[in-house]
């Protein structure tokens, strides 16, 4: 049994190294800095709809105008809430002027950068995303 656990730990370490060294997955890497059992358990308890929203937020593949434009589903990348910038995950969660009050109430700050968003619990990110009524 001990050898099985050792082999599993070695495999996990190798996979983590491959993830860090990959040149892809920029947005996911910014939000998923390390394995976190507590966050994983939280995500696994979510209903399917909330999990889909959370995964989209973490990977940048959320149903927001910028991503939908890249997929050629929409033609306009502008945020429908503020009409000021491209609607991306960073914009929605950290910058959108239409969500300043909600962002302050939920995340504790009127404006957040990628690094600050990466430190937020997934529960808070999901709460703000759902409060935006964009999902």
68-121 confidence digits (pLDDT tens)? 999 999 999 999 999 999 999 999 999 999 999 999 999 999 999 988 988 899
CA angle 94, 105, 40 (to 5 degrees): 65
Contact yes or no for 93/124 (Cβ under 8 A) = no
Domain boundaries along the sequence of the chain = 24-131
Q: pTM (2 decimals)? A: 0.79
pLDDT of 1 > 70? The answer is no
Of the pLDDT bands very low, low, confident and very high (cuts 50, 70, 90), residue 30 is: low
Contact yes or no for 106/124 (Cβ under 8 A) = yes
């Amino acid at each position: 049994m001990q050898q099985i656990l050792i082999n599993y730990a070695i495999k996990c370490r190798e996979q983590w190294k491959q993830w860090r060294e990959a040149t892809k997955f920029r947005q996911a890497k910014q939000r998923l800095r390390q394995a976190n059992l507590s966050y994983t358990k939280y995500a696994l308890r979510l209903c399917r709809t909330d999990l889909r929203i959370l995964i989209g937020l973490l990977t940048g593949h959320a149903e927001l105008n910028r991503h939908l434009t890249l997929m050629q589903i929409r033609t306009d990348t502008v945020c429908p809430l503020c009409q000021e910038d491209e609607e991306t995950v960073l914009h929605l969660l950290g910058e959108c002027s239409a969500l300043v009050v909600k962002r302050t109430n939920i995340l504790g700050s009127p404006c957040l950068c990628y690094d600050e968003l990466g430190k937020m619990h997934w529960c808070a990110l999901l709460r703000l995303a759902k409060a935006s009524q964009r999902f």
